[in-house]
Amino acid sequence: MNVVNYSDDELAILLKNGDSNAFTEIYNRYWDKLYFIAYKLLKDTDAAEEIVQDVFLILWKNNNTLNIQSLAGYLAAMARYSVYHYLSKQKKSKAKEEQLGLLNKGSVVEFNIDHKILLQIVTELSNKLPEKCRLVFQHNKLYDQPLADVARNLKMSQKTAEGHLTKALRIIRTNLGSAISEALLITIALMLFRK
């Protein structure tokens, strides 16, 4: 089956049904984009490649349970949260080394977050936002687009885009607060709501 000309939505449906050709096309279509996201955050070629491979491994292993609204957004968010998970593991490893002989008075408590669950929570909450808030939030926070570019692409002023983003963040923070524990909320806030 030639899936090269299929839309992302069609590929996502085929992937959910276990179609390996659809998976290969998604891999070919998005590997470079996900690598760029991971490398931009880590500045480490090997780590970025490992992150992208992990994202595709998770995608294939969980293909039949995925609920993908936007393939590009879903994969970009998976890459970002895989990076955060990787950084968290790196910090824990460093903390263990410090426990073996180095004193670190300024240790920060690390939370081990399952990035797949976190991704699902944020994706579901963002899909419930009013349309313009949702578009600004997803393009800025999930697709890593600068707010000025988002505003230009959505044909609105940067001030308007900032207003939509502020509203979206407020709604998501409120809903997160009622949906998950305070410790998880603090961790998500540190990772997601950077300005």
Which DSSP string do the residues of 158-172 spell out, in sequence order?
A: HHHHHHHHHHHHHHH
Q: Is 43 left (phi over 0), alpha (psi -120 to 50) or beta?
A: left
- Classify domain 112-195 at the CATH class level: mainly alpha
140: pLDDT strictly greater than 80? yes
176 or 132, higher pLDDT: 132
- CATH number, domain 1-110: 1.10.1740.10
DSSP state of 138: I
Provide the pLDDT confidence category of residue 194 given band limits of 50, 70 and 90: low
| Residues in CB range of 159: below 8 A, 6 or more apart | none
Phi-psi region of 155 (alpha: psi -120 to 50; beta: other; left: phi over 0): left
For the chain, what percent of residues have pLDDT higher than 90? 14
**In this predicted structure, what is the pLDDT of residue 111?**
41
Give tens-digit pLDDT for 104-132: 444 333 344 455 566 667 777 788 888 88
- Cα–Cα dist 44/41, whole Å: 9
How far is the C-alpha of 183 from the C-alpha of 181, rounded, in Å?
6
| Residue at token pair 């500045």 | 43
Q: Where are the domains of the chain?
A: 1-110, 112-195
**Tens digits of per-residue pLDDT, 16-72?**
888 899 999 999 999 999 999 889 888 889 989 999 999 999 889 888 887 788 888
Q: Tell me the Ramachandran region of residue 144: left when phi exceeds 0, alpha when psi lies from -120 to 50, beta otherwise.
A: left
Cβ burial of 139 (10 Å; 0-12, 13-18, 19+) is: buried
The whole-chain average pLDDT of the chain stands at 78
Binned at pLDDT 50, 70 and 90, residue 151 comes out as very high
- Indicate whether 93 pLDDT > 70: no
Name the CA dihedral angle for 184, 145, 154, 189, rounded to a multiple of 10 degrees. 20
Residue 95 has pLDDT above 70, yes or no: no
Highest mean pLDDT among 68-72, 112-116, 138-142, 182-186: 68-72
Which one has a higher pLDDT value, 115 or 174? 174
Full-model pTM: 0.49
Residue 31 burial class via C-beta count within 10 angstroms: exposed 0-12, middle 13-18, buried 19 and up: middle
